[in-house]
Structure 1
Amino acid sequence: MTYQLTVVVPVYNEEDNLLRVEQVFKDYFKIADVPTQVLFVNDGSKDNSRQLIEEICTRSNGFQYISFQKNCGLSAAIKAGFDYTKTPLVGYIDSDLQTTPEDFNILLKYIGEYDLVTGHRADRKDSFVKNMSSTIANKIRRAFTHDGMDDTGCPLKIIKTDYAQRIPMFKGLHRFLPAMIMLQNGKTIQVPIRHFPRIAGTAKFGLWNRLIGPLIDCFAYLWMKKKYINYQVGKKSDA
Structure 2
Amino acid sequence: MVSDPSQTPPAGPAPGPSPEVSVVVPVFNESGAAPDLAREIAAAFAGWPVEILFVDDCSRDDTRERLAALKTEIPALRLLAHSVNSGQSRAVRTGVLAARGEIIVTLDGDGQNDPADAPKLVDALRAGPSDLALVGGERVRRQDSAAKKIASRIGNGVRRRLLRDTANDTGCGLKAFRREAFLRLPYFDHIHRYLPALMLREGYSTLFLPVGHRPRTSGASKYTNLGRLWASASDLLGVMWLQSRARRPGPVAEL
TM over 0.5: yes
Q: Are the aligned partners of 2:39 and 2:74 in contact in 1 as well (CA < 8 Å)?
A: no
Residue in 1 that maps onto 2:42: 26
Report if aligned partners of 1:11, 1:40 keep a CA contact under 8 Å in 2: yes
Letter in 1 for 2:23: V
Task: Report which stretch shifted further, 216-225 or 6-15.
Answer: 216-225
Q: Does 1:132 align with 2:150?
A: yes
Residues 230, 75 of structure 1: alpha-carbon distance in 2 compared, 3 angstrom cutoff: farther
Match of 2:202 among 184, 197, 203: 184
Aligned CA distance change for structure 1 residues 211 and 5 (closer, same or farther; 3 Å):
same
Counterpart of 2:6?
none
| Distance across 2 between alignment mates of 1:227 and 1:82 | 26
Moved more, 213-222 or 188-197: 213-222
SS in 1 for 2:79: strand
Normalising by structure 1, we get a TM-score of 0.91
After superposition, the CA RMSD in angstroms is: 1.8
**Shift in Å, 1:202:** 0.6
Q: How many residues are treated as equivalent by the alignment?
A: 235
Q: 1:231 to 1:86 in 2, by over 3 A?
A: farther
Aligned to 2:140: 122
Q: Which runs of no fewer than 5 residues in structure 2 stay unpaired?
A: 1-16
- Counterpart selection for 1:13 from 14, 29, 39: 29
* Correspondence for 1:60 among 65, 74, 82: 74
Work out the CA distance in 1 between the residues paired with 2:82 and 2:123: 33
Runs of 5+ consecutive residues of structure 1 not aligned to the other structure: none
Distance 1:147 1:51, change over 3 A: same
Q: Which residue of 2 aligns with 1:236?
A: 254
Kindly indicate whether residue 236 of structure 2 is the aligned counterpart of residue 218 of structure 1: yes
Q: Which residue pairs with 1:45 in the alignment?
A: 59
Identity of aligned residues (%): 29
Contact 1:134 1:210 (C-alpha < 8 Å) held by counterparts = no
Structure 2 vs 1, CA of residues 231 and 54 (structure 1 numbering), >3 Å: closer, same or farther? farther
Name the counterpart of 2:219. 201
Using the alignment, how far apart are the partners of 1:89 and 1:225 within structure 2? 25
Q: Offset of 1:234 from its aligned partner? A: 2.4
Question: How much does 1:235 deviate?
Answer: 3.0
Q: Note if contact 2:112-2:215 (Cα within 8 Å) is conserved in structure 1.
A: yes
User: Secondary structure of 1:56's partner?
Assistant: coil
How far off is 1:210 after superposition?
3.2
- Please show how residues 28-177 of structure 1 align to structure 2 within 5 Å: 28-30=44-46, 34-112=48-126, 113=128, 114-177=132-195
User: TM-score, structure 2 length as denominator?
Assistant: 0.86
Q: What CA distance in whole angstroms lies between the structure 1 residues aligned with 2:171 and 2:101?
A: 23
- What is the identity, as a one-letter code, of the residue corresponding to 1:106? K
Tell me, in whole angstroms, the C-alpha distance in 2 between the residues paired with 1:52 and 1:228.
44
How far off its partner does 1:39 sit?
Answer: 0.6
Q: Secondary structure of the residue that 2:44 maps to in structure 1? A: helix
Q: CA deviation at 1:183?
A: 1.0
